[in-house]
């Protein structure tokens, strides 16, 4: 086994050691080639044999799942087994092989395209769900025809896996979240894409942007993911393996040490109480929220409820979802962000393809263009507000007009609930995400009009520096401490303070402990991050005296040279502030 290193972009710290599991996208990779007349029978036989093989594979998976009591998968596997036996599907594939004299993989693709087109013409949610089943079965057959392993389900039980994929969509990452993978490597992706954010929230070491990873790494190769440097070491020597095992033990020890500060009050050495809130995607995240003693939810990304499905969640489903979280965290503040769909977070609500998704009909723009969809969500959030401290957060506001329209729709949702005699918090606060430079430049006006502000640094950086956050070819230019970004943030914080409005930072910057002191010096007292980062940031807060940061932060904000800013940030992180929590 050859030993080599690959370099990419680190998205989540730590060391993972495991065996590679290659995720393929067989349906995209299918090639078309002609079969000679004399070989057609052989090709049909190959297809039939593969269908039998997949059938046996699925039956085994079904048995495995039942053995470990995961009966919820039984129905799904039965549907797939039934589809494999569907004579219409199989007969049509065989007819295509014979009439078009093409390879079986191509025939499956043609047959699948035909069925998907038919499904798309029927407006019925049950039928739409079946479409996904057909796609999954076709993918499974195609992989088997290509000689690729299909055993993801049995691998899901394996804790020792490093996933190697071309890309992982946020929707896929959500599924993977419930399995225990040791690490991710993807061929494309930027460090601030939503997939990277999810990887960080899983707290597992991950690297993106290693082109050809799936060509160079083979299934079951031993892989070390060094999440600090963005290096993947394939089939390491015993010496290197030992070295990394030691590093991993040190990392685990560091994590355990952090546990000591879980119960400490979040306050600086000069007694400023700082709020450490959590960013969540779904209810299942509440365990880590509680484990890390978050002060509340500073950003609930509701769009994840709209993913991996063909139908829109109705008002009741949304209400159940939101209110369950509100009730579980009784007395804690929950900031529910309205649907931020589009760009790299495609959901069932996105019906049109945009030529430039990051600048297209996404987030609040999409909701305002679909008032029924928006009103349904607003009613659900308002209903949940009767059970606790809920705030509404609007993503990607870019103009006064949008804000006015949004407020009008919130009013309409309130009136309809009053008419229906349904309880809600009549004084619910409405805040805006500051992620478009046009708003940050004019923060004074927006601070006056909104109840609170939340700086979404991920998008603010993307739009200020004109860098697609998902594009690895420009990710070296993505710079969270770019002087222009810091100036926009400083203006926003100043405006919020002027009108006595709460301002938080909820982008990835809030969870980066290297930036905690800078943000504290800039006046941020509310940080919202994925829960796995809370203790790392807290450690910084406990050892910081904000008073001592004032001069140096002002100096940073007056500087236009990125290198000087970097040096000054290093300096504030190194300086000792009287005493240490340890």
Using CB under 5 A as the criterion, which residues of the chain lie in contact with Mg ion when the complex forms? 435, 456, 459
The residues pairing with 288 across neighbouring beta strands, listed in sequence order, are none
Are 276 and 295 in contact by the 8 Å Cβ rule? The answer is: yes
Q: Quick one: CA dihedral 354, 399, 397, 393, positive or negative?
A: negative
Cα end-to-end distance, the chain, whole Å: 45
Shortest reach from residue 194's CB to Mg ion, in Å: 9
Does position 458 interact with ligand PEP (CB under 6 A)? The reply is yes
Please spell the DSSP secondary structure of 350-390, one letter per residue.
Answer: --S--SSGGGSS-HHHHHHH-HHHHHHHHHHHHHHGGGSEE
524, 485, 498, 530: which is closest to 511 by C-alpha? 530
Please spell the DSSP secondary structure of 282-337, one letter per residue.
Answer: SGGGHHHHHHTT-SEEEEEEGGGGGSS-SS---HHHHHHHHHHHHHHTTTSEEEEE
Positions in 321-340 near ligand PEP (CB under 6 A): 340
Classified as helix, coil or strand, 2 is: coil
Let me know if 11 is exposed, middle or buried by CB neighbors in 10 A (0-12, 13-18, 19+). buried
Nearer to Mg ion, 187 or 459 (CB): 459
Shortest reach from residue 101's CB to Mg ion, in Å: 50
x/- map, 79-98, ligand PEP, by CB under 6 A: --------------------
The residues pairing with 105 across neighbouring beta strands, listed in sequence order, are none
Residue 425's binding partner among Mg ion, ligand PEP, none (Cβ under 5 to 8 angstroms by kind) is: none
* Helices then strands, each counted (H, E), the chain: 24, 16
Nearer to ligand PEP, 103 or 464 (CB): 464
Q: Which stretch binds ligand PEP (CB under 6 A): 54-62, 147-155, 206-214, 454-462?
A: 454-462
Are 366 and 349 in contact by the 8 Å Cβ rule? The answer is: yes
The residues pairing with 432 across neighbouring beta strands, listed in sequence order, are 394, 453
Does position 344 interact with ligand PEP (CB under 6 A)? The reply is no
Shortest reach from residue 145's CB to ligand PEP, in Å: 38
Shortest reach from residue 506's CB to Mg ion, in Å: 9
Q: Which stretch binds ligand PEP (CB under 6 A): 51-59, 126-134, 457-465, 518-526?
A: 457-465
| Distance of alpha carbon 400 from alpha carbon 373, whole angstroms | 21
Q: Which of 205, 342, 456, 521 binds ligand PEP (CB under 6 A)?
A: 456
Does position 468 interact with ligand PEP (CB under 6 A)? The reply is no
User: Contacts by 81-84 with C-beta closer than 8 Å and gap 24+?
Assistant: 81/55, 83/133, 83/134, 83/137, 84/51, 84/54, 84/55, 84/58, 84/137, 84/141
Q: Which of 10, 457, 504, 543 binds ligand PEP (CB under 6 A)?
A: 457
Does position 506 interact with ligand PEP (CB under 6 A)? The reply is yes
Shortest reach from residue 303's CB to ligand PEP, in Å: 8
Shortest reach from residue 442's CB to ligand PEP, in Å: 18
Could you give phi then psi for residue 365, rounded to 5 degrees?
A: -60, -45
| Distance of alpha carbon 394 from alpha carbon 346, whole angstroms | 18
Residue 301's binding partner among ligand PEP, Mg ion, none (Cβ under 5 to 8 angstroms by kind) is: ligand PEP
Residue number with the smallest Cβ distance to Mg ion: 459
Shortest reach from residue 458's CB to ligand PEP, in Å: 3
Shortest reach from residue 387's CB to ligand PEP, in Å: 25
Q: Catalytic residue among 166, 194, 482, 577, which?
A: 194
Which tokens hold the place of 238? 């015993």
Nearer to Mg ion, 226 or 344 (CB): 344
Count CB neighbours of 58 within 10 A: 20
Residue 506's binding partner among Mg ion, ligand PEP, none (Cβ under 5 to 8 angstroms by kind) is: ligand PEP
User: Contacts by 512-517 with C-beta closer than 8 Å and gap 24+?
Assistant: 512/480, 513/537, 513/539, 513/540, 514/569, 514/573, 515/480, 515/481, 515/569, 516/540, 516/541, 516/544, 517/544, 517/549, 517/569, 517/572, 517/573
| Distance of alpha carbon 18 from alpha carbon 83, whole angstroms | 35
User: What dihedral angle (degrees, nearest 10) is formed by the CA atoms of 470, 474, 475, 481?
Assistant: -120
Q: Which of 57, 226, 295, 435 binds ligand PEP (CB under 6 A)?
A: 435
Q: Which of 459, 472, 512, 525 binds ligand PEP (CB under 6 A)?
A: 459
Nearer to Mg ion, 459 or 512 (CB): 459
Residue 142's binding partner among Mg ion, ligand PEP, none (Cβ under 5 to 8 angstroms by kind) is: none
Residue 289's binding partner among Mg ion, ligand PEP, none (Cβ under 5 to 8 angstroms by kind) is: none
Nearer to ligand PEP, 23 or 396 (CB): 396
Contacts of 203 (CB under 8 A, 6+ apart): 12, 14, 532
Residue 457's binding partner among Mg ion, ligand PEP, none (Cβ under 5 to 8 angstroms by kind) is: ligand PEP
Shortest reach from residue 432's CB to ligand PEP, in Å: 12
Q: Which of 301, 383, 536, 548 binds ligand PEP (CB under 6 A)?
A: 301
x/- map, 145-184, ligand PEP, by CB under 6 A: ----------------------------------------
Length of the chain in residues, anyone? 582
Nearer to Mg ion, 170 or 456 (CB): 456
**Buried b / exposed e along 466-498 (16+ C-beta atoms within 10 A):** ebbbbbbeebeebbbbbbebbbbbbbbbebbee
Q: Catalytic residue among 102, 182, 367, 506, which?
A: 506
Does the active-site annotation cover 194? Answer: yes
Q: Which of 298, 342, 507, 511 binds ligand PEP (CB under 6 A)?
A: 507
Positions in 522-541 near ligand PEP (CB under 6 A): none
Does position 201 interact with ligand PEP (CB under 6 A)? The reply is no
Shortest reach from residue 362's CB to Mg ion, in Å: 9
Does the active-site annotation cover 506? Answer: yes
Give contact residues for ligand PEP (rule: CB under 6 A). Answer: 197, 299, 301, 340, 435, 456-459, 506-507
Catalytic residues, by residue number, are 194, 506
């Amino acid at each position: 086994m050859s030993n080599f290193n690959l370099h990419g972009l680190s998205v989540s710290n730590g060391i993972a050691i495991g065996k590679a599991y290659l995720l393929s996208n067989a349906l995209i990779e299918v090639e078309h080639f002609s079969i000679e007349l004399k070989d057609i029978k052989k090709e049909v036989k190959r297809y039939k044999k593969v269908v039998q093989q997949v059938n046996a594979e699925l039956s085994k998976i079904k048995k495995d799942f039942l053995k470990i009591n995961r009966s919820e998968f039984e129905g799904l596997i039965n549907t797939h087994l039934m589809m494999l036996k569907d004579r219409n599907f199989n007969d049509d594939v065989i007819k295509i092989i014979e009439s078009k004299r093409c390879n079986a993989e191509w025939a499956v693709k043609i047959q699948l395209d035909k069925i998907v087109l038919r499904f798309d013409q029927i407006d019925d949610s049950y039928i739409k769900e079946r479409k996904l089943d057909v796609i999954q079965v076709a993918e499974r057959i195609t992989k088997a025809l290509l000689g690729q392993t299909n055993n993801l389900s049995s691998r899901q039980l394996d804790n020792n896996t490093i996933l190697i994929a071309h890309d992982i969509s946020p929707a896929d990452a959500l599924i993977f979240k419930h399995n225990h993978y040791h690490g991710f490597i993807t061929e494309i992706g930027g460090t601030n894409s939503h997939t990277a954010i999810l990887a960080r929230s899983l707290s597992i070491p991950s690297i993106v942007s290693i082109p050809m990873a799936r060509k160079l790494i083979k299934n079951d190769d031993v892989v070390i993911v060094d999440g600090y440097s963005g290096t993947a070491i394939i089939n390491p020597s015993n010496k290197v393996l030992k070295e990394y095992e030691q590093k991993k033990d040190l990392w685990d020890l560091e994590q355990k040490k952090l546990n000591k500060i879980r119960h400490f009050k979040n306050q600086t050495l000069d007694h400023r109480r700082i709020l450490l809130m959590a960013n969540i995607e779904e209810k299942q995240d509440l365990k880590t929220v509680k484990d890390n003693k978050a002060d509340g939810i500073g950003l609930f990304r509701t769009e994840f409820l709209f993913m991996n499905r063909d139908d829109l969640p109705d008002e009741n489903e949304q209400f159940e979802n939101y209110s369950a979280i509100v009730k579980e965290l009784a007395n804690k503040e929950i900031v529910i962000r309205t649907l931020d769909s589009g760009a790299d977070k495609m959901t069932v609500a996105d019906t049109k393809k945009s030529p430039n998704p990051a600048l297209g009909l996404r987030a609040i723009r999409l909701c305002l263009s679909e008032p029924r969809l928006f009103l349904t969500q607003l009613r659900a959030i308002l209903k949940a507000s009767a059970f606790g401290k809920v705030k509404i957060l609007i993503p990607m506001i870019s103009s006064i007009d949008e804000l006015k329209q949004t407020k009008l729709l919130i009013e309409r949702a309130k009136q309809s609930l009053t008419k229906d005699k349904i309880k809600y918090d009549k004084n619910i606060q409405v805040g805006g995400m500051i992620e478009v430079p046009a708003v940050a430049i004019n923060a004074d006006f927006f601070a006056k009009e909104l109840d609170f502000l939340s700086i979404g640094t991920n998008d603010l950086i993307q739009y200020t520096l004109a860098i697609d956050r998902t594009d690895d070819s420009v990710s070296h230019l993505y710079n969270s401490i770019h002087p222009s970004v810091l100036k926009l943030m400083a203006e926003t914080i100043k405006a919020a303070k002027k009108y006595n409005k709460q301002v938080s930072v909820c982008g990835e910057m809030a969870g980066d402990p290297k930036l905690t002191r800078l943000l504290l010096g800039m006046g941020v007292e509310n940080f919202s991050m994925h829960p796995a980062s809370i203790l790392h940031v807290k450690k910084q807060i406990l050892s910081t005296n904000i008073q001592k940061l004032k001069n140096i932060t002002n100096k940073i904000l007056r500087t236009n040279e990125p290198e000087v800013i970097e040096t000054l940030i290093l300096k504030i992180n190194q300086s000792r502030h009287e005493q240490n929590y340890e």
